[in-house]
């Protein structure tokens, strides 16, 4: 057993986007050593199978339906580590991207529990890879912004749309399927070119993966066929349109775009 996982330690581990081969070797080693694993809904069985010695505890969240609230999860992690167990808190993608890591770090610190982070491949990176695209583009996309489209229940989605529309760069929008129509509306109203390329990546790296392409003013059509439990990341910007070839998916996506002026 490596020295970095003594009893009573918590590792916040990134599971990547779903494909077990996209897990880091370090994550695999930590899972093999774990005695208890608290995992999110997006973590699949093949990855959980890498923790054969561990008690597996689902603390999953899906489409805003929380099976355990964050303070309960914090309490479970702290309690398990306080009992001297080797704890893995396994999160989809990278733990530090919309992963509630700050709360878990704070809870551990408050109880004197040693805690470390093992990074993972975040959904935006995996989506770009699947779509054979770049997230940045020399001269055209000098910045990359990660955004969440998840708003608290009953609250509007608040972002500085003017700044986002002005920025020469790529927007990687997590949890954005439901809000896609309003995201497109806000960006276009704030001055972003309606023809800006978009890529919609669903279930990235899994056998059910789909990558759809189109333009910003057709984003609401692109997301129509996506189920509410299918994790989806939206990539918006010139960089994701810069490709050498047109895939079958792209042709399907383009065919789905109505030609009426309202949607041009
Ligand atoms: C709570 S956030 C966690 C993000 C995660 N920490 C990461 O770095 O990818 C969950 C969102 O990530 C995105 N996501 C995660 N896995 C994905 C996948 N395999 N395909 C597409 N989007 C994914 C979706 O937007 C999903 O709603």
pLDDT, tens digit, 9 for 90 and up, residues 86-125: 999 999 999 999 999 999 999 999 999 999 999 999 999 9
Ligand 1 atom 15, closest CA: 123
Here the tokens at position 123 are: 């959904």
Q: How far is the CA of 194 from the centre of ligand 1 (A)?
A: 25
> CB of 170 within 8 A of CB of 237?
yes
Q: Return the minimum-mean-pLDDT range out of 64-78, 81-95, 102-116, 248-262.
A: 248-262
Provide φ and ψ at 2, rounded to 5°. Answer: -70, 155
pLDDT (mean) for 189-213: 97
Hey, which residues are catalytic here? Answer: 40, 61
Mutate to test the pocket of ligand 1, among 20, 42, 199 (most ligand atoms within 8 A of CB): 42
**Residue 174 parent element (H or E):** strand 169-174
Structure tokens at 7: 């009893």
User: Largest Cα–Cα distance of the chain, in whole Å?
Assistant: 64
- pLDDT surpasses 90 at 150: no
Atom of ligand 1 nearest to the CA of 205: 19
Phi, psi torsion values for 163, nearest 5 degrees: -65, -40
pLDDT (average), residues 230-258: 70
Query: To 5 degrees, how large is the angle CA 256–CA 64–CA 43?
Result: 85
Torsion, Cα of 225, 227, 228, 233 (10° steps): -70
Whether 61 and 42 have beta carbons less than 8 Å apart is answered as: no
User: CB-hemisphere CA count at 13 Å for 150?
Assistant: 14
Decide whether any atom of ligand 1 lies within 6 Å of the 43 Cβ. Answer: no
List Cβ neighbours of 114 (8 Å cut-off, separation of 6 or more): 6, 8, 9, 10, 108
Among residues 121, 140, 141, 130, the alpha carbon closest in space to that of 42 is found at: 121
pLDDT at 253 (0 to 100): 54
Average pLDDT, integer, range 213-238: 96
User: Does the beta carbon of 211 lie inside 6 Å of ligand 1?
Assistant: no
Question: Nearest residue CA, atom 22 of ligand 1?
Answer: 232
Calculate how far, in angstroms, residue 155's C-alpha sits from the geometric centre of ligand 1: 21
pLDDT at 263: 40
Q: Mean pLDDT across the stretch 8-13?
A: 98
**Which atom of ligand 1 approaches the CA of 121 most closely?**
8
Return the higher-pLDDT residue of 253 and 20: 20
Report the candidate in 114, 85, 111, 90 with the shortest Cα–Cα distance to residue 101. Answer: 90
Report whether residue 174 contacts ligand 1, using a CB cutoff of 6 Å: yes
Q: Which of 92, 128, 172, 173 should be mutated for ligand 1, with most atoms under 8 A from CB?
A: 92
Residues 15 and 45: their CA atoms lie apart, in Å, by 12
Alpha helix (H) residue ranges in 12-157: 25-33, 45-48, 70-82, 101-110, 123-130
Check pLDDT > 50 for residue 14.
Answer: yes
Query: For ligand 1, is residue 212 a contact (CB within 6 Å)?
Result: no
Ligand 1 atom nearest to 176, measured from its CA: 25
pLDDT at position 261 is 43
């Amino acid at each position: 057993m490596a020295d970095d996982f003594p009893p009573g330690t918590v590792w916040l581990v990134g599971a990547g986007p779903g494909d077990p081969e996209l897990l880091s070797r370090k994550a695999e080693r930590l899972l093999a050593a774990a005695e208890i694993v608290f995992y999110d809904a997006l973590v699949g069985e093949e990855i959980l199978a890498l923790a054969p010695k561990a008690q597996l505890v689902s603390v999953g969240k899906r489409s805003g339906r929380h099976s355990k609230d964050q303070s309960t999860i914090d309490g479970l992690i702290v309690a398990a580590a306080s009992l001297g167990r080797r704890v893995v808190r396994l999160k989809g993608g990278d733990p530090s991207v919309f992963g509630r890591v700050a709360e878990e770090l704070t809870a551990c610190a408050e109880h004197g529990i040693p805690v470390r982070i093992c990074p993972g491949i975040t959904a935006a990176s995996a989506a770009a890879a699947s779509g054979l695209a770049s997230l940045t583009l020399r001269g055209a996309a000098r910045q990359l912004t990660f955004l969440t489209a998840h708003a608290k229940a009953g609250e509007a989605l608040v972002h500085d749309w003017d700044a986002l529309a002005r920025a020469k760069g790529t927007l990687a929008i997590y949890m954005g399927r439901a809000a896609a129509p309003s995201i497109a509306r806000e960006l276009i109203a704030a001055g972003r070119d309606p023809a800006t390329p978009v890529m919609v990546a669903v279930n990235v790296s899994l056998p059910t993966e789909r990558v759809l392409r189109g333009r910003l003013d057709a984003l609401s059509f692109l997301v129509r066929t996506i189920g509410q439990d299918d994790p989806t990341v939206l990539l918006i910007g010139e960089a994701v349109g810069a490709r050498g070839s047109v895939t079958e998916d792209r042709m399907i996506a383009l065919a789905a775009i109505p030609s009426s002026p309202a949607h041009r």
